[in-house]
Amino acid sequence: MPGKGKAIGRTVVAIVLFFILLVVMAILVMWWSPWSGAIKGFVFLDANLNKAYDAGDTRLESIELFIKRESSGVVQNTLTNSNGEFVFPGVPNGSYQVYVRIPQEPFTIWTQTV
């Protein structure tokens, strides 16, 4: 049976390529998964205490923030950048508490659930 070895070789190559494609697709699905997102925002000093960012309010740099997933207790932390902005990327869907540590008051933490 001439050519049988080539046919088997092509079949093996096709199967290997199929599995490589499956692995690549699985990685892409996990990377672009709708089941994760980000928590982001900015921290500011509310000069007029109206709970909204207005002219005259100052964005705060190097403020420490934590997020805690309510279902698992997993904690992540980050700092605000020079524009007062922060981001927690790749956060799985769920309910989180966001903690902001206020530097002038070492034991004061502001919390919001998102």
In order, the DSSP letters of 43-98 are -EE-TT-SSS--TT-EE-SS-EEEEEETTT--EEEEE--TTSEEEEEEEESS-EEE
pLDDT of residue 50: 85
Name the token pair of 87. 């981001």
pLDDT of residue 79: 94
Question: What rounded mean pLDDT belongs to the chain?
Answer: 76
Q: Which CATH superfamily is domain 36-113 in?
A: Immunoglobulins (2.60.40.10)
- Map tokens 């964005």 to a residue: 59
List pLDDT tens digits, range 54-91. 888 888 899 888 888 888 887 899 999 999 999 988 88
* pTM of the full structure: 0.62
* More confident site: 4 or 98: 98
pLDDT of residue 47: 85
